[in-house]
């Protein structure tokens, strides 16, 4: 260490400051006489100065002590210290000027200090005092740095957040990193330097990684362009460069950022898309001051809807679910984040008609968002009766009660697996769609259905599963190397549900543009790299084979021949035939078959209602007509 660990005594700092002021004064005289040393001139000037040199040091001491410039820790000099030093130096010079006027007019007609010396001394002393502190700070920062640089770092974003990130890393005691440069999307910044560090354009990333041997990239842009961020991260993963990101400024502790807050990039950051622009005014007009019932409110989509709806100031939100603990957690979250929100927590099962009847009678909801459902394909393939009981009977209960209570809009959350279903879960959701759609004809209630694919981070989805498997050391299990899926974030899905619910007039099935499909095995590989692990060395991927009812490829819902456009580019309307009354009767008979607990009979009836339901990799394949 070049500096002592303990703080320097304050009296030593005062002495050094006075010595630096003396040097400043000497420098001022040298400049005044063009650095020419003439003994006669020196003697004459000293005769004048000797009578006031004591006053010079006394004033400096009193002013410095008053402004407490000696109290600041020199090694941690800040802009606040700079302000105090400037004010102290300026006040000292002003006092010298005033005392000089007094001496000239009332004592011996000499100024305390010549005017030129006074000005030069002010600038010299200020710079010396400041320079001394920053010199000590520089030595201190160099002395505490880790000498063996392990990471060569590139910061993505040459804005304020990027600059703060650079400074924070350089201040870090444990830092074994060297900032090689900034990366930015703005071509005009390329080639410039920021605090001595070069700014590179994003297009040069691969060359920079190879030439500078970059080992880590930190994303410091608060709201990056999603597509450009994906490209940057993909390039880093290709070259085994670790990728991290700076959190939102909202999560900084007391407004300050620490290197400990730099987090790994999540797979969601690679799959997310540009934020959706909603028709805020229309949603506000529809939902404001209304009673809204949300079923499955404790689930991923249900709770996401609650958070999306809360800012629109509804009269009351009724949170319905049978999951006690998640509802309790949601309740506490809402109390904290939305203290003015009026909501009621209801523990209940949508399969119980009487319980649901009581809920409708008690709260009289005007809007219903129906998100409660069983959704796990393998589990429902083994338990068809439960799929029918919840997804079909539960939906029928809610639809019938919505009609009886003249609910204005009923928005049902469905799934892409209802399209040409190959499993019981998808077929049960399609039957629920049929029942809701059939009841939209010539009724006051507007029944609207929304379909979308896999939701990132939702309960039971593949990404949380992969995360747990990685944390446990693997292996990561993938059912088939060819399996692909569409993904959407929870906020994105909920926003589109709200938009579709507002635009719907009843009877529609809206499908969402899910973007490009993703190979699940590629998803697993990226998650391994983002975790800082190496496939084949630190962790393995195991192919287990398709599960019962599972598809290799989900249906692409945005095909032009199957959909019609709407005013929102990411929401399309499915071309579906209107269900007739006989289908409603078939749905009712299906529900009655629950009593038999005979899976084959139940699934056979489901196939009659949904002719396109062709089982895949399942015991129920034998029921399909060859």
Which residues are catalytically annotated? 417
Neighbours of 149 (CB within 10 A): 13
CB 355 within 8 A of CB 348: yes
d(CA 503, CA 523): 34
How distant is the alpha carbon of residue 428 from its chain centre?
A: 35
Beta strands, E only, 472-517: 476-478, 484-485, 487-489, 509-512
List the structure tokens of 84: 């105090």
Count of all residues that appear for the chain in the document: 626
- Classify 157 in phi/psi space as left (phi over 0), alpha (psi -120 to 50) or beta: left
Q: DSSP code of 535?
A: B
Peptide bond preceding 353 in cis form (omega within 30 of 0): no
CB atoms within 10 A of CB 80: 9
Sort strands 563-565 and 571-574 into parallel, antiparallel or unpaired.
antiparallel
Other beta carbons less than 10 A from residue 70's beta carbon: 18
- Cβ contact 518:482 at 8 Å: no
Going across the sheet that includes 409-413, the strands are: 343-347, 316-321, 291-295, 367-370, 409-413, 446-451, 509-512, 571-574, 563-565
552: exposed, middle or buried (Cβ count in 10 Å: 0-12, 13-18, 19+): middle
Quick count: other Cβ atoms within 10 Å of Cβ 124? 22
43-58 exposure pattern, b = at least 16 Cβ within 10 A, e = fewer: eebeeebeebeebbee
Residue 162: other Cβ atoms inside 10 A? 25
Distance CA 429, CA 376 (A): 12
């Amino acid at each position: 260490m070049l500096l002592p660990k303990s703080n320097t005594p304050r009296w030593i700092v005062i002495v050094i400051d006075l010595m630096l002021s003396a040097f400043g004064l000497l420098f001022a005289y040298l400049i005044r006489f063009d650095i020419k040393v003439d003994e006669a001139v020196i003697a004459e000037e000293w005769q004048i100065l000797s009578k006031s040199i004591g006053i010079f040091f006394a004033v400096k001491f009193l002013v410095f002590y008053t402004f407490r410039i000696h109290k600041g820790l020199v090694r941690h000099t800040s802009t606040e210290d700079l302000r105090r030093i400037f004010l102290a130096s300026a006040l000292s010079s002003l006092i010298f000027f005033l005392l000089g006027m007094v001496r000239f007019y009332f004592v011996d007609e000499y100024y305390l200090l010549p005017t030129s010396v006074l000005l030069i001394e002010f600038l010299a002393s200020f710079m010396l005092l400041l320079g001394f502190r920053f010199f000590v700070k520089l030595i201190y920062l160099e002395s505490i740095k880790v000498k063996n640089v392990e990471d060569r770092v590139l910061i993505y974003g040459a804005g304020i957040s990027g600059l703060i990130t650079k400074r924070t890393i350089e201040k870090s005691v444990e830092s074994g990193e060297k900032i090689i440069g900034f990366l930015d999307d703005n071509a005009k910044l390329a080639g410039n330097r920021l605090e001595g560090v070069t700014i590179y354009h994003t297009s040069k990333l691969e060359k920079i990684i190879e030439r500078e041997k970059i080992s880590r990239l930190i994303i410091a842009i608060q709201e990056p362009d999603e597509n450009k961020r994906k490209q940057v991260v993909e390039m880093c993963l290709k070259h085994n460069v670790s990728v991290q990101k700076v959190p939102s400024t909202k999560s900084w502790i007391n407004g300050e950022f620490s290197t400990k807050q730099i987090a790994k990039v999540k797979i969601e950051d690679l799959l997310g898309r540009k934020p959706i622009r909603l028709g805020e005014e229309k949603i506000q007009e529809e939902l404001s001051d209304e009673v809204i019932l949300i079923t499955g409110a404790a689930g991923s989509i249900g709770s996401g809807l609650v958070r999306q709806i809360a800012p629109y100031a509804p009269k009351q939100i009724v949170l319905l679910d049978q999951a006690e603990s998640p509802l309790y957690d949601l309740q506490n979250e809402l109390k904290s984040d939305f203290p003015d929100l009026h909501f009621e927590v209801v523990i209940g099962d949508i399969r119980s008609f009487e319980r649901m009847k009581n809920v409708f009678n008690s709260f009289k909801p005007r809007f219903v968002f129906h998100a409660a459902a069983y959704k796990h394909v393998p589990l429902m393939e083994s338990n068809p009766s439960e799929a029918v009981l919840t997804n079909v009977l539960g939906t029928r209960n809610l639809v019938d009660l919505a009609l009886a209570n003249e609910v204005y809009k009923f928005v049902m959350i469905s799934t892409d697996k209802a399209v040409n279903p190959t499993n019981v879960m998808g077929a049960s959701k399609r039957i629920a769609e049929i029942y809701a759609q059939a009841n939209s004809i010539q009724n006051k209630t507007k029944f609207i259905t929304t379909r979308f694919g896999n939701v990132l981070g939702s309960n039971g989805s593949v990404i949380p599963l992969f995360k747990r498997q990685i944390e446990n050391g693997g292996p990561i299990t993938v059912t088939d190397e060819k399996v692909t899926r569409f993904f959407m974030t929870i906020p994105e899905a909920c926003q589109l549900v709200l938009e579709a619910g507002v635009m719907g007039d009843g009877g529609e099935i809206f499908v969402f543009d899910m973007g490009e499909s993703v190979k699940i095995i590629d998803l697993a590989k990226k998650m391994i790299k983002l975790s800082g692990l190496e496939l084949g060395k630190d962790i393995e991927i195991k192919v287990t084979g398709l599960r019962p009812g599972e598809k290799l490829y989900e249906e692409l819902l945005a095909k032009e021949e199957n959909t019609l456009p709407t005013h929102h580019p990411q929401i399309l309307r499915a071309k579906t035939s209107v269900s007739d009354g006989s289908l409603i009767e078939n749905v009712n008979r299906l529900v009655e078959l629950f009593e038999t607990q005979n899976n084959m009979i139940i699934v056979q009836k489901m196939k009659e209602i949904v002719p396109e339901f062709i089982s895949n990799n399942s015991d129920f394949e034998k029921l399909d007509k060859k």
